[in-house]
Structure 1
């Protein structure tokens, strides 16, 4: 429905319902620490790729934003991938995985990425043979899973580790929890604007997104036309995950906010309003292992 009525100007309405559309990140559910540790070891192991040249951590840097800073990462064939790499942080909180939401769980998504010829290019049986040649790893799997290393155990270990990759303690979570000083009045105004113009219709819940599908470019074109329907991304740590959109075409958070307002809400946002929402979005940065999530340098 591109075209139609001219874009309207964004306006702030002081909306203060009794409940917030965004939920505090819950405590990490208990995980088997030995399985998590095995998964962490494998996450950085290049033996999981077809040619041994990369690991999961190659495109999902846990020292920074859980992804990369590239518009699109490069595949095994040297060609740019069609979609921007999404952060692995808080992925476990999304109802579907991947930009198109094709995977319903971390095990399925992990196997899909391992087999993808452009991403990891792995033959699972070959990977298992490689890993099975490592006596220490075989013994560790047998101790943890009470059986030999197999595909199910491999995927379970990797998925268990990824379930631990949540980033609590954002300033906004602390504010929701009652710490009034955790955000500034200006950031609070940005939150009110974020709600009043309709951003929270899609970006809400515990993952501030990640729980529904949406068509992009409703009023005006936004980024690459395909795929047209996407899983709404989480906004947790969004200040650290530039560039934005499924094709990585928005270089800055300001560009992304302005573009989303026009494309999805038919709003022309003034610079002060863009800055206000960006200020709020910067309060959504959490911590991993006690350190704030940061953008790659």
Structure 2
């Protein structure tokens, strides 16, 4: 007699597990990964996407602010690219709706890559190896549409399933420790989950920050709620990178958004829960050494 299917712990939960990476033509994904690491995407060939988005670490950087090709400091702390395509909008202000439009905007931003699709196309088309890779994946030489599609294809594979919390959601009752479970219950009872829910534990609505007390830089006042997936690996925190540790971020968020002054025990439990949201990329926990 077959064993019964495992019962999901997450049937009634406001958070859902991250799905496996989507099935996408591997030639397009491989080409997109090459482009992600290609400094020719920037106007002066000085930096690639991976310059600020380290996939071997947290999908972002450890800096409070990164710098663009113009040498200027970025306006916001760099968001991770892991699970970004699960958000409903892109960027801190959520001005961009699709990953394709986000790629175009980043390439053409004078503060980030300072280039254009026409310039990138010209550079790649002058490379015989790149022409061969585009011909294999798209049946034609590099052009704006195929460049964006390849990068978008790769971006959609940057999901990180397999976290302890997702294992608990899908029926592994032993996946979470008592502290982690206490933290999750507190996460819900305090109201954190009202903004941080869904598959990405956030990323699906806008919210005003500093409701009860100031939180970080006051402008912009309304931001896209960030995902908390892999949050333990992505310090510093907030749009201005002003919280250096997860402990500090939890205390400040609770006070600013919920008017709650947490005890040390509550902070410890919440941090334990947030650490359980660290998933895996290519079989390795996010933030772990390869």
What range is the shorter-chain TM-score in?
A: over 0.9
Paired residues in the alignment total 281
**For residues 45 and 28 of structure 1, what CA distance do their matches in structure 2 show?**
23
Equivalent residue number for residue 285 of structure 2: 292
Equivalent residue number for residue 238 of structure 2: 245
**For residues 20 and 73 of structure 2, what CA distance do their matches in structure 1 show?**
37
Alpha-carbon displacement from aligned partner over 1:137-173 (angstroms, at most 9, x marks no partner): 1122122212331101100000000000000100000
RMSD: 1.4
Q: Answer whether contact 1:240 1:295 (CA < 8 A) is retained.
A: no
User: CA shift at 1:217, angstroms?
Assistant: 0.7
**For residues 120 and 200 of structure 1, what CA distance do their matches in structure 2 show?**
35
Q: Answer whether contact 2:10 2:171 (CA < 8 A) is retained.
A: no
Alignment of 1:75-94 (within 5 A): 75-94=68-87
| SS at structure 2 position matched to 1:159 | helix
Query: Match for 2:23 among 4, 25, 30?
Result: 30
Residue 122 in structure 1 maps to residue 115 in structure 2: yes
Residue 258 in structure 1 maps to residue 214 in structure 2: no
Q: Answer whether contact 1:69 1:295 (CA < 8 A) is retained.
A: no
Query: Match for 1:268 among 261, 268, 279?
Result: 261
Q: Answer whether contact 1:241 1:295 (CA < 8 A) is retained.
A: no
Q: 1:23–1:117: structure 2 CA closer, same or farther, 3 Å change rule?
A: same
Unaligned runs of 5+ in 1: 1-15
Unaligned runs of 5+ in 2: 1-8
Query: Match for 2:136 among 122, 143, 148?
Result: 143
Alpha-carbon displacement from aligned partner over 1:188-209 (angstroms, at most 9, x marks no partner): 0000000000000000000000
Equivalent residue number for residue 66 of structure 1: 59
User: CA shift at 1:227, angstroms?
Assistant: 1.0
Equivalent residue number for residue 105 of structure 1: 98
Q: Answer whether contact 1:31 1:160 (CA < 8 A) is retained.
A: yes
| SS at structure 2 position matched to 1:214 | strand
Equivalent residue number for residue 4 of structure 1: none
| SS at structure 2 position matched to 1:23 | coil
**For residues 76 and 21 of structure 2, what CA distance do their matches in structure 1 show?**
29
**For residues 53 and 31 of structure 1, what CA distance do their matches in structure 2 show?**
30
- Give TM-score scaled by structure 1 length: 0.92
User: CA shift at 1:78, angstroms?
Assistant: 2.4
**For residues 136 and 18 of structure 1, what CA distance do their matches in structure 2 show?**
49
| SS at structure 1 position matched to 2:207 | strand
User: CA shift at 1:127, angstroms?
Assistant: 1.2
Equivalent residue number for residue 182 of structure 2: 189
Q: 1:167–1:216: structure 2 CA closer, same or farther, 3 Å change rule?
A: same
Q: Answer whether contact 1:25 1:207 (CA < 8 A) is retained.
A: yes
